[in-house]
Amino acid sequence: MPSTRSSRPRLADVAARAGVSTATASLVLRGRPGPGRRARQAVLDASHELGYRADRSASLLARRRTQLLGVSMDVRSPFHAELIEEIHAAADGLGYDVVVSPLTRTHDERRVVETLLDSRCEALLLLAPGLSAAQLTDLAQDRPVVAVGRPVTAPGVDVVRVADDRGVALAVEHLVALGHRDIAFVDGPSGTISTLRRSGYRRAVRRLVGPDAVHVVPGGATEDKGAAAVSLLRGRPVSAAIAFNDRCALGVLDGLRRDGRSVPGDISLVGYDDTPLARLGTIDLTSVSQTPGEMGAAAVRAAVERLEGARSHDVEVLLEPVLVVRGSTGPPPNRTMP
Amino acid sequence: MPSTRSSRPRLADVAARAGVSTATASLVLRGRPGPGRRARQAVLDASHELGYRADRSASLLARRRTQLLGVSMDVRSPFHAELIEEIHAAADGLGYDVVVSPLTRTHDERRVVETLLDSRCEALLLLAPGLSAAQLTDLAQDRPVVAVGRPVTAPGVDVVRVADDRGVALAVEHLVALGHRDIAFVDGPSGTISTLRRSGYRRAVRRLVGPDAVHVVPGGATEDKGAAAVSLLRGRPVSAAIAFNDRCALGVLDGLRRDGRSVPGDISLVGYDDTPLARLGTIDLTSVSQTPGEMGAAAVRAAVERLEGARSHDVEVLLEPVLVVRGSTGPPPNRTMP
DNA sequence: CACACTTGTTAAAGCGCTTTAAGGATACCC
DNA sequence: GGGTATCCTTAAAGCGCTTTAACAAGTGTG
C-alpha cells in the first residue's frame, strides 16, 4: 500500500510505482550492480517522478558501514571554516559524508564528541582538539581519531599538522633574500606552538645571518600584545619583524604606524596563519599559510586509510607551510635591491 | 543475548543487565513516567556501568517526532557563527536538537537543504538564504521554514531580521547627542539592505538635524570601497561618518588615518554588524549590533511555534538593533560637550 | 531433455530504538 | 473472597531502509 500520509515518499512507494521490489529499488538507487536495464530505468523514473529521497536515519541504521566522518570545529575560527570546506570536498571525493558539530558555549568538546558518536560516524577528525592525550587515546580505542593542527602525542591517534618551525624559517628566508639582516621575532604565548616557531626562527637566523642576530621579544597571541611589543623593538636596529600570528602582527602594525614608522618602508612585517584578516586590502600582510587544502585532504586520507584497513600504525603527517607574500614586506630602508 | 561484538552497548544490553525489558529501559532513559523507583535505578546504574549511549539514527527512526531543527550556514561568516551558537542554546532550552550543514564550495544551498531534510529535521532555519522566494515558499509547503537575516517576502515563510533603518537611526542619534551635525553616510552595494539603511539614515538626519544635512556618498561592502569613499568625504565639512558595514568602515578608517586625520579626534566613525573586527583593540569601532542572541532565539521560537501548532500564519519578527559604543566616536572637534 | 550456470529478482530478516496495547501484581473495598 | 481500580512491566509491532539467501527464468552443455 502506498503511504497515504502527506509525508515524503518511501522507498516502497518508488518500488510499487516501478513495479519492482524494494530490494531492487534500493539496489538501483545506490548504483549497485544486479538489476537489469528495464528495472533500473523504471526505478529511476519512478523515483524522479515522486521526488524520492532516501531517509538518512533509516539508511544509516540498516547499513553496516555509515561512511560518515565526524568533525568537531570551533565555529568562531575562520581557519576551521576553511578546513571544513576542504575536508568536505576531500571526503566527497572518497565517497564519505561529513557530519560537523560545532563547539559552542553550550556544547563543549566532550559533548560534541558524544553527539558525533551518536550519529554513528566511523572516524573522528578533531580540529585543534583540547582533549588530553589520554582522552584522545581512549577515544581512539574504538575508532580512528585524527588530531588536526595540534601537535599531540597520543598513542593510537593520527596527527596532521604543519611544520611550525619550517613556516617561520620560510619567513626568515624571504626577508633575508630581500636584504634584511636585523630581523626580530615577536614571540607568542607559552606553549608547544610558540616553542616550535621560536626555535624555527632561531635556527634560520643563526644559519642565514649569524648567531648574534637572534632577537626575540615577548609578545602574545593578540593585538594588544603585539602593540605592546613595538616599544621593545626600538632597543636595537630592526628592519623586519616576524610575529607569532596574524593578530599579533596586526598589533605590531598598528603600533608601528602610531610611531610614525611605515610598513614596509621603514620596517617589514610577516604574520602567521594567513587569516582573512591578513588579506584585507588595508592590512595586506605577508603571512605563512597552514595550507588548509592540504591539511583537510591529509586528515581525511588518514581517517580513511585506517577505516579501510590500509594502515594500522599511527602516523604524523607533517605538512610544509607556504609563505604568502603581500605588501607588508619589502627591501630594508637605505638599501637598493641587488 | 548480550551483543558479543566489541561495538558499543545496545539498549538490550542495558535492559538485560538491569533485569528489565527494553521498553522499560527506554522509558527510564528518556525520563518518561511509568517505571517505578526500583526499575529506574537499576536501568540508570546499568546504563552508567556500560557507558551506554543511544544510537541516534535508531532513535530518530523509531520516534515520531525527531525534534530536530536543520540550520544552514555560511561557514565563513563570523556572524553566522554567533547565530549558530545562539540557535543551539535556544533550541536546547526548548528540547530540540540542531543539525547544522555548512555551505561550502562543494555544497551549495540546494544540496545543503537536501542534506538537512535527509536527516529528518522538522524545520529549516536558513541563515541569509540565497534561494528565491518561490523556492522558499515551495520548501515551506512541507515544513516550517524560517529565513533569518534576510528581508524576503515568501508566503509560508517566517522571517526574523533586524530593523536596518532603525540601526542606522541609532547611530545618527548617538552622533547627534555627541554634538555632531555634519554626518555623512557611506553607502553600501545596491540591494534591499543598503536601501533600508540609507533611508534610515535619511530620515533620522532630516528629523534631527535638518533636510539639508543629508550627505550620502557611494561606498560598498568592502574595505577598498570604504577607503575610496574617503576622498569624497572632503567636499563638505564632515565631523562624523556612518559606514554601510564594518568592513567598509575599516576602509574609511584606514583612509582617514592615511590622510592624517584622527578618529575620533577629527572625525567620528560608526560601523554596522558589530563584527569581531570591530572589537579588535586597534580598531575599536562603534558599531550597530544585529543582536545575534535575540535573532537566534526568535528564529528557534518561530520554528517551534509552527511545529507545535501554536501558529499557522506567517510572521515577520523585526528586532531592534543595538548600538555598541566604542572608541571610534566622540564629540566633534572645536566644541565642548554641553 | 536433464544438468549445471548465469542473471535478474524478491521475500524476509534484520539495524537499534520507540510505542502501544495487553498482561500481572498489588492493594483496596464491599 | 470476588471485583475493580492502580501501578508496573513487557511482548510485539513498527520506523524506512539494506542485505542475504533463495528462487525463477533463461543459456548453454553433454
* pLDDT at residue B6 tops 70: no
* pLDDT at residue B338 tops 70: no
Q: Contacts of residue A100 in chain B, CB cutoff 8 Å? A: 100-102
Q: CA-nearest residue of chain B to A143?
A: B7
* pLDDT at residue B312 tops 80: yes
| Nucleic chain D contacts, Cβ below 7 Å | A 3, 7, 10-12, 22-23, 26-27, 29-30, 32, 52, 54-55, 58-59, 61-65; B 19-24, 27, 34-36, 38-40, 58, 61-62
pLDDT at B324: 96
pLDDT at A236: 79
Q: Cα torsion for B158, B151, B253, B282, to the nearest 10°?
A: 10
**Cα separation of B285 and B226, whole Å?**
14
pLDDT at A336: 45
Mutate to test the interface with B, among A47, A282, A300, A326 (most CBs of B within 10 A): A282
pLDDT at B2: 35
Per-residue pLDDT tens digits for A69-96: 999 998 888 889 889 999 999 999 998 9
Per-residue pLDDT tens digits for B27-42: 999 988 888 888 899 9
Residues in a beta bridge with A161: A318
Grid cell locating B314: 506567517
Per-residue pLDDT tens digits for A196-236: 999 999 999 999 999 999 999 999 988 889 989 999 988 77
Nearest CA distance, B12 vs chain A (angstrom) = 16
**Chain B residues 222-251 with a CB less than 8 Å from chain A:** 222-224, 227, 247, 250-251
Question: Is there a contact between B80 and B127 (Cβ–Cβ < 8 Å)?
Answer: yes
Count contacts between A and B (CB, < 8 Å). 122
Collapsed DSSP state (helix, strand, coil) of residue B68: strand
Mean pLDDT, chain A, integer: 90
* pLDDT at residue B5 tops 80: no
Mean pLDDT, chain B, integer: 90
Any atom of strand C under 7 A from CB of A21?
yes
Residues in a beta bridge with A319: A162
Say which residues have a Cβ less than 8 Å from residue B26's Cβ, sequence separation at least 6. B11
H or E element, residue A268? strand A268-272
Arithmetic mean of pLDDT, B309-325: 93
Per-residue pLDDT tens digits for A35-72: 888 889 999 999 999 999 999 889 989 987 888 999 99
pLDDT at B173: 97
The one-letter amino acid code at B329 reads T
Arithmetic mean of pLDDT, B327-334: 91
Question: Strands B157-162 and B145-148, how do they pair?
Answer: parallel
Band of pLDDT at residue B287, cut at 50, 70 and 90: very high
Domains of chain A, start order: 11-54 (1.10.260.40), 68-162+292-319 (3.40.50.2300), 164-290 (3.40.50.2300)
Question: Is there a contact between B253 and B285 (Cβ–Cβ < 8 Å)?
Answer: yes
Arithmetic mean of pLDDT, A237-249: 93
Q: What is the pTM of this model?
A: 0.83
Please give the residue that has the higher pLDDT: either A287 or B8.
A287
Per-residue pLDDT tens digits for A97-152: 999 999 988 899 999 999 898 888 999 999 999 999 999 999 998 899 999 998 89
Contact A84 B75 (CB under 8 A): yes
Does residue A261 sit at the B interface (CB-CB below 8 Å)? no
Nearest CA distance, A183 vs chain B (angstrom) = 24
Per-residue pLDDT tens digits for B79-88: 898 899 999 9
Question: Strands A157-162 and A145-148, how do they pair?
Answer: parallel
**Cα separation of B267 and B318, whole Å?**
32
Q: Contacts of residue A277 in chain B, CB cutoff 8 Å? A: 277
**Cα separation of A317 and A161, whole Å?**
6
Please give the residue that has the higher pLDDT: either A304 or B310.
A304
* pLDDT at residue B11 tops 60: yes
Arithmetic mean of pLDDT, B223-237: 87
pLDDT at B159: 97
Per-residue pLDDT tens digits for B159-189: 999 999 999 999 999 999 999 999 999 999 9
